[in-house]
């Protein structure tokens, strides 16, 4: 069976890149730092690195529980330190007290500067400011050029990790079984929506898997996938287990409150 059989067709370019990374670590003892990875990408890197003797993978996102993380692939005899992950924390304060800024506003401002999504991680939005984990190599660029978010003038400064404020985020676990780990089957059980009612919103682009719009209800979800369903909420696939005696698949998810 081909290695690529274990991954989705659209993931093949990323899988090929990771295989090239692991080969360089294995054969040349290189240390390779990735850009920010979403949970599914981090899962793929970990899975492929574990196949290669002497190749190890560590990831950091700036705080415990971060969704998007930068990783370091390294040989066994080298232990990465925090500086090797190349993370910086930006504090963004706004001057418009009458405008409430949301996650999408900060995301749009960064993308509007021409910054690729893989160059920054989680965006932590608070009542009067936001804190953004970015690649160290772009921190000064953002600090100098990000002067406005939506219609609010902002000031950006680089801060130390001890000033990072984590928003209160909780989730609850849910376990169930499905006939197949399809997107429509799992999302339907999580949000208690019948198959007939869940298909139209998927077809209409209201569902994202790992931050990418998905229109195919038959997409097979994997461990680490994050599913956002507009109007209903978001969950992460914690595990896809084995079959029950009746041939159903055990699923465990973490539902974000």
Residues 6+ apart with CB under 8 A from 91: 129, 130, 131, 156, 157, 158, 159, 163
What's the CATH architecture for 171-256?
Roll (3.10)
233-244 pLDDT, tens digit each: 899 999 998 888
The pLDDT score that the predictor gives to residue 151 is 87
The pLDDT score that the predictor gives to residue 189 is 94
What's the CATH architecture for 87-163?
2-Layer Sandwich (3.30)
The pLDDT score that the predictor gives to residue 80 is 93
Alpha carbon 24 to chain centroid, angstroms: 25
**131 CB-contact burial (10 Å; exposed 0-12 / middle 13-18 / buried 19+):** buried
The 3-state secondary structure of 131-158, one letter per residue = EEEEEHHHHHHHHHHCCEECCEEEEEEE
Q: Do domains 87-163 and 171-256 have the same CATH topology?
A: no
Q: Which CATH number is correct for 3-84, 3.90.105.10, 3.30.1370.160, 3.90.650.10, 2.40.50.140?
A: 3.30.1370.160
Other Cβ atoms less than 10 A from the Cβ of 3: the count is: 10
Gap between the Cα atoms of 191 and 256, Å rounded? 12
Query: What residue ranges do the domains of the chain occupy?
Result: 3-84, 87-163, 171-256
Please list the alpha-helical segments (H only) found in the chain.
12-28, 39-49, 103-112, 139-145, 183-191, 195-203
**Could you give the 3-state DSSP secondary structure of residue 31?**
coil
Residue 152's nearest CA partner among 96, 91, 90, 92 is 96
CB 205 within 8 Å of CB 167: no
65-101: b (≥16 Cβ within 10 Å) or e = ebbbbbbbbbeeeeebeeebbbbbbbbbebeeeeeeb
The pLDDT score that the predictor gives to residue 10 is 85
**Could you give the 3-state DSSP secondary structure of residue 214?**
coil
45-56 pLDDT, tens digit each: 999 999 999 999
Q: Which residues of the chain have pLDDT under 50?
A: none
Task: Using the structure block, give the residue that is written with the tokens 């910086």.
Answer: 88
CB 172 within 8 Å of CB 255: yes
Structure tokens of 180? 């197949």
């Amino acid at each position: 069976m081909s290695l690529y059989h274990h991954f989705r067709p659209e993931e093949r370019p990323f899988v090929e890149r990771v295989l090239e990374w692991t080969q360089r670590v294995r054969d040349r003892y290189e240390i390779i730092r990735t850009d920010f990875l979403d949970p599914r990408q981090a899962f793929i890197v970990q899975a492929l690195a574990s196949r290669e003797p002497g190749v190890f993978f560590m990831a950091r996102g700036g705080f415990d529980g971060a969704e998007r993380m930068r990783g370091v692939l390294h040989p066994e005899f080298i232990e990465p330190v925090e500086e090797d992950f190349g993370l910086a924390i930006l504090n963004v304060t706004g001057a418009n007290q009458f405008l409430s800024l949301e996650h999408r506003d900060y995301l749009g401002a960064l993308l509007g500067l021409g910054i690729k999504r893989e160059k920054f991680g989680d965006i932590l939005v608070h009542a009067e400011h936001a804190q953004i984990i970015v690649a160290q190599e772009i921190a000064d660029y953002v600090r100098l050029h990000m002067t406005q978010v939506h219609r609010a003038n902002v000031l950006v400064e680089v801060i130390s990790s001890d000033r990072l404020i984590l928003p209160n985020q909780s989730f609850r676990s849910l376990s169930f079984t499905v006939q197949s780990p399809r997107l429509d089957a799992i999302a339907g059980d999580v949000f208690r929506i019948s198959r007939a009612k869940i298909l139209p919103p998927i077809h209409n682009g209201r569902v994202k898997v790992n931050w990418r719009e998905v229109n195919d209800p038959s997409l097979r979800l994997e461990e680490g996938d994050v599913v956002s369903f507009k109007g209903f909420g978001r969950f992460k696939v914690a595990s896809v287990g084995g079959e029950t005696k009746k041939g159903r698949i055990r699923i465990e998810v973490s539902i974000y409150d």
